[in-house]
Amino acid sequence: MSAPLDPLLTTPLSNTPLNALHIELGARMVPFAGYSMPVQYPSGLMAEHHHTRKAAGLFDVSHMGQLRLVGSEAAAAFETLMPVDVIDLPVGKQRYGLLLNDDGGIIDDLMFFNKGNNEIFVIVNGACKVNDIAHIQYRIGHRCEVISMPERALLALQGPHAATALSRLAPGVEKLVFMTGGNFIVDTGKQKIDVFLSRSGYTGEDGFEISVHNDHAEALARALLAQPEVKPIGLGARNSLRLEAGLCLYGNDIDETTHPVEANLLWAMQKVRRTGGARQGGFSGATKILAALADSTGAGTRKRVGLMALERIPVRDHTELQDGQGNQIGEVTSGLLGPTIDKPVAMAYVDAAFSALGTKMVAIVRGKPVPMEVCAMPFVPTRYYRG
């Protein structure tokens, strides 16, 4: 059963705390998830993409939803919504989660962090946050406090020089490893700003996601952009970076019609929640998900795969995929020319019989077949810092 929408949550702000700065920097603004967001800056998408891979890029992701789950039952309650180990997540660590409906479909993918003292910090996708917060409140609000945090902005600093740049302002962040975090003070030289951050991100690169009060977001952004390694990056490069990293975009690659098994997100389902585990099942859609997991290669199923075009022709979202006999076998969900590898790459759902690495198929682009091959993801090796 889905939660009723809270009318107080259905009108998001049209601007993030950084909109004036984006305009000052010459960004081209577009509507996104109910906000006016920068799609690119004057240097352009390609330059922004390459700069993030080579140095450090700053992203405004304040449209994302932030919330706290507080109380002695918070972890156990949150586990009932996801096929993920929440209870055993150590204090100071973060994990990827999948919020499911009763049919096992993915309502959203999210990040959650164990802050200790019976508190879990959660980040959800911007386009989903109204429904996510209402759903979580409806399902587990009787077991823990569900506290939305609209007063917080979110910045992402990504790239191989991200730690170097941020550690000048917040010494100690360089000691964190991937998917850990904590409270830090950022010294801009003019003021000291309290932030909560984790060493994580959505580009495949090393980096940080930084939660900061709206009142201090612009000062923090300006301090980061003053570092020689850092340039502002828009939504366009964010999309190309995440696709090269093989990361799903909610609404494109996963949604309520897909479940974790067909989405090839089994790595996000810890053994303790699977059949035979100490806390098997007990989450939304468990019966369907565990049955699919037991028969994940059965006939009639589909799989999310990575594809590379064998000709230099980009294959875009919603492109039809066919076998050698002209039968439709799938559809592209995300696709573009990967700037780092300079080759067309895509994600797609295909019939399970065509999901093995090396399988050939064709994409129909403007009525013409483009040869494609199933390949491993990520398309560009990740560079998360693990110590």
CA 106/CA 296 separation, integer angstroms: 17
CATH of the domain at 237: 3.30.1360.120
Predicted confidence (pLDDT) at residue 257 exceeds the cutoff of 60: yes
- Whether residue 239 sits in one domain with residue 159: yes
Using CB atoms within 10 Å of the CB of residue 147, give its burial: 0 to 12 exposed, 13 to 18 middle, 19+ buried.
Answer: middle
Bridge-based pairing state of the strands 360-365 and 230-232:
unpaired
**How many alpha carbons lie under 13 Å from residue 260 in its C-beta half-sphere?**
30
In a domain, 72, yes or no: no
In a domain, 161, yes or no: yes
Work out whether the CA dihedral 163, 168, 169, 173 comes out positive or negative: positive
Backbone torsions φ then ψ of 107, nearest 5 degrees: -70, -40
- Whether residue 311 sits in one domain with residue 175: no
pLDDT confidence of residue 181: 98
- Whether residue 39 sits in one domain with residue 157: yes
Least confident of 29-43, 284-298, 309-323, 359-373: 284-298
pLDDT confidence of residue 301: 85
| Residue range 290-309: mean pLDDT, rounded | 82
- Whether residue 336 sits in one domain with residue 216: no
> Band of the pLDDT at 296, cuts 50, 70, 90?
low
In a domain, 48, yes or no: yes
Predicted confidence (pLDDT) at residue 284 exceeds the cutoff of 80: yes
Domain boundary among 225, 244, 263: 244
| Residue range 206-231: mean pLDDT, rounded | 98
Residue 298 · residue 291 · CB < 8 Å: no
> What's the DSSP call for residue 44?
-
> Band of the pLDDT at 9, cuts 50, 70, 90?
very low
In a domain, 103, yes or no: no
Please give the structure tokens belonging to residue 62. Answer: 């304040």
- Whether residue 340 sits in one domain with residue 215: no
**What are 182-194's pLDDT values in tens digits?**
999 999 999 999 9
Predicted confidence (pLDDT) at residue 324 exceeds the cutoff of 80: yes
Task: Show the beta-strand stretches assigned E in 125-169.
Answer: 145-148, 152-158
| Residue range 188-206: mean pLDDT, rounded | 98
In a domain, 115, yes or no: no
CA 284/CA 274 separation, integer angstroms: 13
- What's the domain range around 304? 297-378
CA 249/CA 125 separation, integer angstroms: 9
**What are 125-158's pLDDT values in tens digits?**
999 999 999 999 999 999 999 999 999 999 999 9
| Residue range 288-302: mean pLDDT, rounded | 76
pLDDT confidence of residue 81: 98
Helix 235-244 to helix 45-54 angle (10° resolution) is: 50
- How far CA 199 is from CA of 12, 330, 370, in Å, comes to 27, 36, 39
> Band of the pLDDT at 10, cuts 50, 70, 90?
very low
Give the closest residue to 120 by CA, choosing from 73, 153, 54, 59: 73
CA 233/CA 377 separation, integer angstroms: 24
| Residue range 2-9: mean pLDDT, rounded | 39
CA 137/CA 139 separation, integer angstroms: 6
| Residue range 251-257: mean pLDDT, rounded | 97
pLDDT confidence of residue 40: 98
Domain count, the chain: 2
- How far CA 286 is from CA of 105, 139, 146, 289, 297, in Å, comes to 10, 16, 23, 5, 18
Rounded percentage of the chain residues whose pLDDT exceeds 70: 95
| Residue range 211-240: mean pLDDT, rounded | 98
In a domain, 189, yes or no: yes
In a domain, 95, yes or no: no
In a domain, 64, yes or no: no
3-state SS assignment for residue 245: coil
CATH of the domain at 351: 2.40.30.110
Least confident of 60-69, 281-290, 295-304: 295-304
CA 198/CA 64 separation, integer angstroms: 15
Q: Which residue has the tokens 């993920």?
A: 84
Q: In what order do the strands lie in the sheet with 207-213?
A: 181-187, 192-198, 207-213, 152-158, 56-60, 230-232
Backbone torsions φ then ψ of 351, nearest 5 degrees: -55, 140
pLDDT confidence of residue 295: 80
More confident residue, 124 or 1: 124
- Whether residue 171 sits in one domain with residue 232: yes
- Whether residue 38 sits in one domain with residue 169: yes
Per-chain mean pLDDT for the chain: 95
Q: What are the residues facing 184 on neighbouring strands? A: 195
pLDDT confidence of residue 5: 38
CA 350/CA 52 separation, integer angstroms: 31
- Whether residue 336 sits in one domain with residue 188: no
Residue 149 · residue 125 · CB < 8 Å: no
Backbone torsions φ then ψ of 300, nearest 5 degrees: 90, -5
> What's the DSSP call for residue 68?
E
> Band of the pLDDT at 7, cuts 50, 70, 90?
very low
Residue 360 · residue 324 · CB < 8 Å: yes
